[in-house]
Amino acid sequence: MSHRPTSYRRRATSNSPAERITAAIIEKLERGTKPWVKPWRGLPVSRPLRSCGTPYRGMNTFWLWMVADACGYASPYWMTYRQCRELGGQVRKGEKSTIAIFYKSYTKEVENAEGEAATENRRMLKAYAVFNADQCDGLPELYHPKPMVAPVEPAGRQTKLDQFFGAIGANLRHHGCQAYYEPVLDRVTMPPAELFEAYDHYYATLAHELSHWTGHSSRLDRDLRNRFGTDAYAAEELIAELSSAILGAELGLPVSHLDHHASYIASWLKILKSDERAILTAAAKAEEAARLLLRLGGHEMSDSHREAGLADAA
């Protein structure tokens, strides 16, 4: 998965609401994802809802679904800052709003074909700032729906792997249904283990995101600021993919289930075809990332990887 979620929250931009939404949808489609297919499991399926419980309609339905998916929000409820306060809640410090859209009707005096004054009805697309209930504290329980069925822990949990990943010391939270790393917050977000088919898939996904975590400026200092679609973004994804493969070999984890959208593979092929040394660079950085994680986790590297590390240092 991406080392950070695409940001669909409110930005300082001159683009119109329609242009911003369209650009975000195109980006999702280019990644091979249909933004109107809601992937959440275990929670009641719902249209996005206003604070009063009225469903959003039209483009707001698909847009707010997409934002919630990207940010890992589980609640279907959205509200303005003022509405949150009126419900007794408080938007958490540092949370960013997204937009909801509506048409504002107005009349304009124009001159008709006969040169006479006439009134014309017009509509303008406007936007206003909203927050998801998951961004707020102190709201009534209604705004945080409970799973339809009790979560069931998947098979395959291993104490030694829990201890390994726990010893790394990353800022890790379990929230929503997306796995990603946020460089600014230096935080890894993982879905709860109950959303995975098996624990080895949970561990493998965590290994991938922690590989991104090693690139923070306080650790291996890789460039993590790039948007999807750039060569630098694809290169970082390739590094994390290779690093997680090394971790998989050391820890006995699968890697074949990880996300292989056609657009990712196309990006990697583009890099490898344009630079014959790109794979060497990516592999060296992946080895460096894997060695750091293995050291922090207290795992003794196999002889083959110890030799590879010595060769890299030579």
Highest mean pLDDT out of 10-14, 89-93, 141-145, 233-237: 89-93
Report yes or no on 127 lying in a domain: yes
Q: What pLDDT, on a 0 to 100 scale, did the predictor assign at position 32?
A: 64
If one counts every other C-beta atom within 10 angstroms of the C-beta of residue 135, the result is 22
Q: How many residues does the chain have?
A: 314
pLDDT digits (tens, 9 = 90+) for 223-254: 998 877 788 888 998 999 899 989 998 998 87
Mean pLDDT, the chain, integer: 83
Taking the C-alpha atoms of residue 40 and residue 33, their distance in angstroms, rounded to an integer, is 14
**209 neighbors 259 (Cβ within 8 angstroms):** no
pLDDT digits (tens, 9 = 90+) for 165-195: 999 999 999 987 778 999 999 999 998 898 8
pTM of the model: 0.66
Give the mean model confidence (pLDDT) for residues 67-80: 89
User: Between residues 33 and 19, which one has the greater pLDDT?
Assistant: 19
**Are residues 286 and 190 part of one domain?**
yes
Last residue of a domain, one of 95, 114, 143: 143
Is the model's pLDDT at 304 over the cut of 70? no
Q: What pLDDT, on a 0 to 100 scale, did the predictor assign at position 309?
A: 45
**Are residues 309 and 208 part of one domain?**
yes
Phi then psi dihedrals of residue 208, to 5 deg: -65, -45
Give the mean model confidence (pLDDT) for residues 91-106: 90
Report yes or no on 309 lying in a domain: yes
Specify the number of domains making up the chain.
2
Is the model's pLDDT at 157 over the cut of 80? yes
Q: What pLDDT, on a 0 to 100 scale, did the predictor assign at position 306?
A: 46
Is the model's pLDDT at 112 over the cut of 50? yes
- Cα dihedral value 47, 175, 96, 94, nearest 10: 150
Taking the C-alpha atoms of residue 64 and residue 232, their distance in angstroms, rounded to an integer, is 29
In the structure, what pLDDT confidence band is assigned to residue 311 with cuts at 50, 70 and 90?
Answer: very low
Terminal Cα-to-Cα distance of the chain (whole angstroms)? 33
**Are residues 180 and 42 part of one domain?**
no
Q: What pLDDT, on a 0 to 100 scale, did the predictor assign at position 251?
A: 92
Q: What pLDDT, on a 0 to 100 scale, did the predictor assign at position 47?
A: 87
- DSSP code at position 283: H
Domain that holds residue 21: 17-143
**Are residues 139 and 79 part of one domain?**
yes
**Are residues 97 and 227 part of one domain?**
no
Q: What pLDDT, on a 0 to 100 scale, did the predictor assign at position 216?
A: 97
**Are residues 138 and 207 part of one domain?**
no
Of 44-48, 128-132, 258-262, 264-268, minimum mean pLDDT range: 258-262
**Are residues 215 and 86 part of one domain?**
no
Last residue of a domain, one of 93, 111, 143: 143
Q: What pLDDT, on a 0 to 100 scale, did the predictor assign at position 285?
A: 95
